[in-house]
Amino acid sequence: MKKTAHLILLLLATALMAWLLPLLARQSTAAPERYPFVYYSSLLRELCIIDYSDDEMPLATLSGKRFSEAECDSLLPLFNFRQLLADGKLPDAVDGVEITPPLLRSKTIIFRHNPADFASPPRRLHVLFESMPRRLGLEMPPDVFRLQENIEFIDCESNRVNAEKSARFQQAFARAGYRFPARWTTGNPSPRKAYDEGYFSLDAAGKLFHLKMVNGKPHVRDTRADAVAEIAHFAPFEPADKRFYGFIFGRRGDLYILEARDGGYHPLRLDLDSIDVARDRLVIMGNLLYWNVSVTNDSGRAYRALRAASLQRVAGHFEPRPPDPWQRLAAWIFPAYLTLDSPDDAYLWPRLHHTGRRAWAFNFLLAAAAAGLPGNRRRRSFHFAYILVAGIAGAIALLLLPRLTINK
């Protein structure tokens, strides 16, 4: 029992060190990701790299031309329109398209997506706002709903199901052809918005439905987006110009916007390489004419410029991942380490990360040093083998625990 207990504690202490030491090291070396800021210039018709730490020539095109700060604002009018407006330098048109500040504001899109947005525990209760409120602003409704085997509205005050309202909505689902149980339901509920487009829900048959409440009445429609893509996820988005409802992530890595046109739903594909929903982080900065899309993962960041209207690619660029201090440290010291969380999902479980071969040399040196310490041969051999595998985490665990004495 003594040996077993000691070994189990040793493994526990090693796992603890394999988690805590890198955690402390990462926090000590934390630095922002140093990717350059890349934006498509509608005037130069090129992707540009903007580095404001260079005071003299912050803007450089991929073809090698450099421009000063004074020229920078004018070359990116759709990005810097507020500054140009303040300076009185905003042009009347860009690329033949007439521009006004309200138009530019309404076409500005900033969308961020992380893998953890989808890989998190699902919300099971939702707040359905009135889509066409009589007064300005959204009011918190007196009930919430659950959508699983059916739809039920629960009154907050009484904590009871509102049978009448639930039945009304249930009938609307039936009329729209929704098949229960729901796979997932997603929305962007918040009273701090100008308007709310309700929720989108994937039914048991993989069809995407749109649910909202209009003048108190249920509005449930099949978007028929499944005709175009096998839908994995949907990220709701409410642009100021109400052009689309959100982003459809397809199972094959395809990405679409779900346009609102002619009272219907029209998926429009973004001309991008396949997106890995579990790993890729997405940022879309859109303006009147172009959308700047960056897709970032462990290998680097891919920049794409798409035409705003057709979402077809006009330019692209790739930046490999710059080494960060933690990675450099880990490559030398931790051949493997544990984390309990991940930026790619909201769940907690132990994940083992490998950094490469160099750090095994460090393990070897540590193990050799430990084997050189006084002690009997069996103990030294064990320490050598253990530290060779477990590294600095194992070495500290061995130090933390008292020596195991074996009685003959």
Answer yes or no whether residue 124 interacts with other proteins by CB under 8 A: yes
Which of 371, 396 has the CB closer to other proteins?
396
Answer yes or no whether residue 156 interacts with other proteins by CB under 8 A: yes
3 in Cβ contact with 406 (< 8 Å): yes
Which of 46, 155 has the CB closer to other proteins?
155
Answer yes or no whether residue 13 interacts with other proteins by CB under 8 A: yes
- Out of 28, 68, 100, 120, the only residue in the binding site for other proteins (CB under 8 A) is 120
Q: Which stretch binds other proteins (CB under 8 A): 3-11, 36-44, 205-213, 283-291?
A: 3-11
Q: Which stretch binds other proteins (CB under 8 A): 115-123, 203-211, 242-250, 353-361?
A: 115-123
Answer yes or no whether residue 8 interacts with other proteins by CB under 8 A: yes
We find the least distance from the C-beta atom of residue 27 to other proteins, in angstroms, to be: 13
Q: Which stretch binds other proteins (CB under 8 A): 152-160, 224-232, 254-262, 295-303?
A: 152-160
Cα–Cα dist 113/396, whole Å = 39
We find the least distance from the C-beta atom of residue 124 to other proteins, in angstroms, to be: 4
Name the helix (H) or strand (E) containing 87. helix 81-87
**Whole-Å CA distances, 172 to 68, 217, 289:** 59, 9, 39
Answer yes or no whether residue 20 interacts with other proteins by CB under 8 A: yes
We find the least distance from the C-beta atom of residue 120 to other proteins, in angstroms, to be: 6
Answer yes or no whether residue 127 interacts with other proteins by CB under 8 A: yes
**Residues in 170-229 at the binding interface with other proteins, rule: CB under 8 A:** 189-191
Q: Which stretch binds other proteins (CB under 8 A): 139-147, 199-207, 298-306, 363-371?
A: 139-147
**Greatest extent of the chain over all pairs of C-alpha atoms, in Å:** 93
Three-state DSSP state, 14: helix
Nearest to 333 by CA among 359, 353, 365: 359
We find the least distance from the C-beta atom of residue 255 to other proteins, in angstroms, to be: 25
Answer yes or no whether residue 11 interacts with other proteins by CB under 8 A: yes
Q: Which residues contact 153 (CB under 8 A, 6 or more apart)?
A: 128, 143, 144, 145, 161, 162, 165, 166, 169
- Out of 194, 204, 205, 340, the only residue in the binding site for other proteins (CB under 8 A) is 340
**Residues in 306-325 at the binding interface with other proteins, rule: CB under 8 A:** none
Answer yes or no whether residue 16 interacts with other proteins by CB under 8 A: yes
| Tokens 């897709």, located at residue | 295
- Out of 144, 260, 302, 389, the only residue in the binding site for other proteins (CB under 8 A) is 144
Packing angle, helices 358-371 and 325-333, rounded to 10: 50
**Whole-Å CA distances, 192 to 128, 138, 189, 233:** 14, 7, 9, 24
Q: Give the pair of three-digit tokens for residue 378.
A: 């069996």
Q: Which stretch binds other proteins (CB under 8 A): 47-55, 151-159, 206-214, 279-287?
A: 151-159
- Out of 86, 125, 240, 385, the only residue in the binding site for other proteins (CB under 8 A) is 125
C-alpha dihedral sign at 390, 396, 402, 403? positive
The residues pairing with 283 across neighbouring beta strands, listed in sequence order, are: 112, 294
CA neighbours closer than 13 Å in the CB half-sphere of residue 226: 14
**Whole-Å CA distances, 170 to 65, 105, 146, 153, 223:** 61, 39, 12, 10, 18
Answer yes or no whether residue 121 interacts with other proteins by CB under 8 A: yes
Q: Which residues contact 258 (CB under 8 A, 6 or more apart)?
A: 208, 223, 225, 234, 244, 245, 246, 247, 248, 265, 266, 267
We find the least distance from the C-beta atom of residue 143 to other proteins, in angstroms, to be: 8
- Out of 97, 174, 348, 361, the only residue in the binding site for other proteins (CB under 8 A) is 348
Nearest to 144 by CA among 125, 167, 159, 121: 125
Helices (H), 253-354: 325-333
**Binding residues for other proteins, total number by CB under 8 A:** 44
Answer yes or no whether residue 27 interacts with other proteins by CB under 8 A: no
- Out of 5, 132, 163, 205, the only residue in the binding site for other proteins (CB under 8 A) is 5
**Residues in 368-407 at the binding interface with other proteins, rule: CB under 8 A:** 400, 402, 405, 407
Given the rule CB under 8 A, which residues bind other proteins?
1-2, 4-6, 8-9, 11-13, 16, 19-20, 120-127, 140-142, 144, 146, 154, 156-157, 159, 189-191, 340-341, 346-350, 400, 402, 405, 407
